Amino acid sequence: MPSSARSTFQGNALAAVSFLLWGLMPLYYQFLPNASINELLAFRLLCSVPFMLLVFFVMGKPLPSIAQLRANKRSVALCGLASIIMCVSWYSFTWALTHGQVLAASLGFFINPLFAIALGVVCLGDKLTLAQKLAVFLGAIGIGYMIYQYQALPWLALLMGGFFALYGLCKKYIQFDSLTSVTIEAALLTPMAMCYLLWLALTDQSVALSGSNTQILLYMGSAPVTLLPLIFFALAIRATSLSMVGLMQYIEPSIHFILAVTLFNEQFDQVKAVSFGFIWTGLLFCSLEALPRLRQRWITHSAH
């Protein structure tokens, strides 16, 4: 196998692993039912920095210098904005996983590409293909049908999908590599997380510290559990196409959906079936449209 084709294959494999890990994440959070989400978020932020420093060490990658950070203050500021946006998406995602709402998490990441497409048009001047226009239209019908039937907005799904799309948009303007930007994002919010955890401990309000050692480790483990797939994803982006990654991202919400219905016994009623059906149909059109381009790129890579 030519080196370029081998590199693409490895990139595809890394992308698949990253989305598989994200998809299996509800299994981890089942050990933290009704967790204190504020405290869980603080533990994740606090433990993310040492974990990312370990990753830099293992990969033999140099840490960014103070001079590099000062030379690119705009990207540092954008990292701060990205961290706040990600906190909203991650907060709603974690709440869903720890409160029996895995189907909402699945819906959120199924509609995420539709938000991403809309942001690309509004903010980046992207031009939509016929399939993308159809996907956005069908997605809007699916969400609208759910709102009409339930007389309520699917807030969790909209927060997850919308803010994760905003996070992706923000990352496009950050000039640091993915691992560096993720580390900076966590580091900027670490002082706040540390102060919050210290306040909980001093006022005897900490849920994690009042539990067993296993519970404390589970709270701390939320950092590597959420960052490992992100690392695999960052490595995959360098070796494969964004189109392939875009198709593979449906692995994650598909696994969420299967776990919710088969393992967690969440209700999948007729309203959800119709709404998901519209969204799935739109995404199917986009996927079918992208397949010929992916096949041609694979042939080109293999030829070289």
CA distance 170 to 255: 27
Strand segments (E) across the chain? none
Amino acid letter for position 57: F
The Cα–Cα gap between 153 and 235 comes to 36
Q: Is the pLDDT of residue 284 over 90?
A: no
* HEC readout, 4-58: HHHHHHHHHHHHHHHHHHHHHHHHHHCCCCCCCHHHHHHHHHHHHHHHHHHHHHH
Distances (CA, A) of 92 to 136, 163, 171: 23, 10, 20
Q: How confident is the model over 162-190, as pLDDT tens digits? A: 898 888 888 888 888 878 988 999 999 99
Residues 269-286: what's their mean pLDDT?
88
Cβ atoms 298, 150 nearer than 8 A = no
Tokens 């919050």 -> residue: 196
For residue range 112-163, what is the model confidence (pLDDT) as tens digits? 878 887 888 888 787 878 887 888 889 889 989 988 898 888 888 899 888 9
d(CA 138, CA 275) in angstroms, rounded, equals 9
Please state the domain count of the chain. 1
Distances (CA, A) of 99 to 93, 102, 156: 10, 8, 11
Q: Which amino acid is at 18?
A: S
pLDDT for the residue numbered 13: 81
**Would you place residue 243 in the very low, low, confident or very high pLDDT band (cuts 50, 70, 90)?**
low
pLDDT in tens, 19-40: 899 999 999 998 988 789 999 9
The residue range of the domain holding 104 is 3-303
Q: What's at 205, amino acid-wise? A: Q
In whole angstroms, how large is the CA radius of gyration of the chain? 20
- pLDDT for the residue 234: 72
